[in-house]
Amino acid sequence: MATKVKEIVDAAAPTNGSPLISNDKLKQLYATMIKCRTLEERARVLFKQSKFTGNYYAAVGQEAAAVGTAIDLRVEDTIGPSHRDFITGFIKGAPLDKMFCHLFARENSPDKGRSSPAHFGYAPLNVITPASTIAAQLNIATGVALANKMKKNDNIAVAYSGDGSTSLGFWHEALNFAGVHDLPIVFVCQNNLWAESVNLQFQTKVPDISVKAAAYGFPGITVDGNDVVAVYRVAQEAIARARRGQGPTLIECKTYRWYGHSEIDPAKYRDPEEVERWKAKDPIAGMERYLMGKGLFSAEWKQGIVDGFNKELDAAIEIAEQSALPQGVEALDHVYSFSIRERVLEPKVYEPEY
């Protein structure tokens, strides 16, 4: 059932009955990718400057996979991000100041400074606040999809995971359940060949993760994850299937992370040549060439996007820097629907009554 879409095809030519991709959409795909890149490169600089600490996992090099799958989601659709999917929140529309308040662990971040930098959630847009447990978000997103099906609406869920995540039982349980109930969900697996220092060959015997969908009775498709047009088209079909109530799809995006696993990982376990080979397949440069070919690209246009976005970033970072850190005692909040402050801070002492 696994099929492959591997070459950049002419996006204008409709396949499988999917409609033409408009020029505006093509430009939006590019613009969003370059914003994601700019956002994360800025975050990396801020990390190096110790403006924030903790774990951050950049998706630089993988933007096509995130943008192509998340760009057209509705507010009501749910995203279940993994650790490397900070940018999916941005793509879905989260305000930049919220995102930087989060990175800087400020009191006014959506999670009030509780979660790690990489774990950005945003309730107003139905972005699930991630936990670290790999693959757990797939199961939770599956539950959201179950609720959408029960509510008979056509909202969907998109859940992200990496190649490494496919080894965990949770991954399997989610896909199996979604398959049994034909749930409106799209599983996006970003196969970047590495799980920290572990190469795919020690993760699983199969080179194409999409074949695993066969075990669950729904389509699995491998797509060049650095080709945003291909990813977008495949995603559109999967999303449409899900909205029509025809069940899940597993999309494997073959891609590559440019940097270490997190900002403190020099990634010496990788052959520098492999890194160079993949950098040459930069999804942004590829899309630039593609747009150029269609006369949709100019250096000024690009510069305009980058400059404008950098200003937005400056403003957001400024807000985050000005924002206060939480008070220590707030650590006691949001444990339950009721407060436990009093119980912890003022334990009663009992005297004999008799």
84 binds, among Mg ion, another protein, ligand TPP, none (CB under 5 to 8 A by kind): ligand TPP
Q: Which of 56, 257, 259, 290 is catalytic?
A: 257
On whether the CB atoms of residues 196 and 261 are closer than 8 A, the answer is yes
Q: Quick count: other Cβ atoms within 10 Å of Cβ 173?
A: 14
Distance (Å, rounded) from C-alpha 146 to C-alpha 159? 13
Three-state secondary structure string covering the chain: CCEEECCCCCCCCCCCCCCCCCHHHHHHHHHHHHHHHHHHHHHHHHHHCCCCCCCCCCCCCCHHHHHHHHCCCCCCCEEECCCCCHHHHHHHCCCHHHHHHHHCCCCCCCCCCCCCCCCCCEHHHCECCCCCCCCHHHHHHHHHHHHHHHCCCCCCEEEEEECHHHHCHHHHHHHHHHHHCCCCEEEEEEECCEECCEEHHHHCCCCCHHHHHHHHCCCEEEEECCCHHHHHHHHHHHHHHHHCCCCCEEEEEECCCCCCCCCCCCCCCCCHHHHHHHHCCCHHHHHHHHHHHCCCCCHHHHHHHHHHHHHHHHHHHHHHHHCCCCCHHHHHCCCCCCCCHHHHHCCCCCCCCC
Q: Residue count at the site for a copy of itself (CB under 8 A)?
A: 25
The answer for residues whose C-beta is within 8 angstroms of residue 127's C-beta and 6 or more apart is 78, 79, 81, 88, 89, 92, 94, 120, 121
Candidates 82-90, 115-123, 170-178, 325-333 — which segment interacts with a copy of itself by CB under 8 A?
A: 170-178
206 binds, among another protein, ligand TPP, a copy of itself, none (CB under 5 to 8 A by kind): a copy of itself
On whether the CB atoms of residues 195 and 270 are closer than 8 A, the answer is no
Is the Cβ of residue 47 or residue 297 nearer to another protein in the bound state?
47
Q: Residue count at the site for ligand TPP (CB under 6 A)?
A: 16
Q: Is 114 among the catalytic positions?
A: no
Distance (Å, rounded) from C-alpha 113 to C-alpha 154? 33
Give the one residue of 1, 8, 198, 240 binding another protein; rule: CB under 8 A.
Answer: 198
Candidates 130-138, 158-166, 180-188, 286-294 — which segment interacts with Mg ion by CB under 5 A?
A: 158-166
41 binds, among Mg ion, ligand TPP, another protein, none (CB under 5 to 8 A by kind): none
Beta bridge pairs of residue 191: 254
Q: How far is the CB of 247 from a copy of itself (least distance, A)?
A: 8
206 binding a copy of itself? (CB under 8 A) = yes
Give the one residue of 48, 151, 205, 268 binding a copy of itself; rule: CB under 8 A.
Answer: 205
Footprint on residues 222-281 left by another protein (CB under 8 A): 269
Q: How far is the CB of 10 from ligand TPP (least distance, A)?
A: 30
Candidates 115-123, 142-150, 162-170, 235-243 — which segment interacts with ligand TPP by CB under 6 A?
A: 162-170
Is the Cβ of residue 181 or residue 294 nearer to a copy of itself in the bound state?
181
Q: How far is the CB of 69 from another protein (least distance, A)?
A: 19
Give the one residue of 116, 155, 190, 203 binding a copy of itself; rule: CB under 8 A.
Answer: 203
Q: Which of 269, 277, 341, 343 is catalytic?
A: 269
Q: How far is the CB of 192 from ligand TPP (least distance, A)?
A: 5
Q: Is 269 among the catalytic positions?
A: yes
The residue sitting closest to ligand TPP, measured at its beta carbon, is: 162
Footprint on residues 251-290 left by ligand TPP (CB under 6 A): 261
174 binding ligand TPP? (CB under 6 A) = no
Q: Is 233 among the catalytic positions?
A: no
Footprint on residues 84-113 left by ligand TPP (CB under 6 A): 84
Interface ranges with Mg ion (CB under 5 A): 162-164, 192, 195
Which residue ranges make up the site for ligand TPP (CB under 6 A)? 83-84, 132-134, 161-165, 190, 192, 194-196, 261
Active site residues: 257, 261, 269
